[in-house]
Chain A
Amino acid sequence: MNDESALIDGLRQRDPQAFTTFFETYADRVYRLAYSIVSNESDAEEAVQATFISALEAIDRFEHHARLGTWLYRIAYNHALMILRRRRPEESLPDEDDALPMPSALADWSTLPEDRLLSREAQAILRKAIAGLPTTLRAAFVCRDIEGLSTADCAQIIGISEGALKVRLHRARLILRERISEYFGEWVTPGNG
Chain B
Amino acid sequence: MTCEELIAHLSSYIDHEMDAALVAEVQEHIAHCRNCRVVLDTTQRLIVLVHDEGQRIIPAGQRSALFERLHQAFLNRPQTSDDSAV
How far, in whole Å, are A27 and B62 apart by their CA atoms in the complex?
Answer: 12
Partner of B39, one of A52, A57, A106: A106
How far, in whole Å, are A126 and B52 apart by their CA atoms in the complex?
Answer: 10
Which residues of B in the span 18-63 have a Cβ within 8 Å of any Cβ on A?
35, 38-39, 41-47, 49-54, 56-59, 62-63
Which residues of B in the span 71-85 have a Cβ within 8 Å of any Cβ on A?
71, 73-75, 77, 80, 82-83
Inter-subunit contact A108/B38 (CB<8 Å) = yes
Count of interface residues, chain B, beta-carbon cutoff 8 Å:
43
* Contacts known (A45-B66, A117-B49); A32 close to B38, Cβ less than 8 A: no
In the complex, B1 has a CB within 8 A of chain A: no
Partner of B10, one of A49, A174, A176: A174
- Least distance between B60 CB and chain A CB atoms (Å): 11
Which residue of chain B has the shortest Cβ distance to A13 in the bound complex? B83
- Least distance between A104 CB and chain B CB atoms (Å): 10
Count of interface residues, chain A, beta-carbon cutoff 8 Å:
53
Complex interface: stretch among A64-72, A74-82, A86-94, A140-148: A140-148
How far, in whole Å, are A117 and B35 apart by their CA atoms in the complex?
Answer: 21
Interface residues of B (CB under 8 A from A): 3-4, 7-8, 10-12, 15, 17, 35, 38-39, 41-47, 49-54, 56-59, 62-63, 66-67, 69-71, 73-75, 77, 80, 82-83
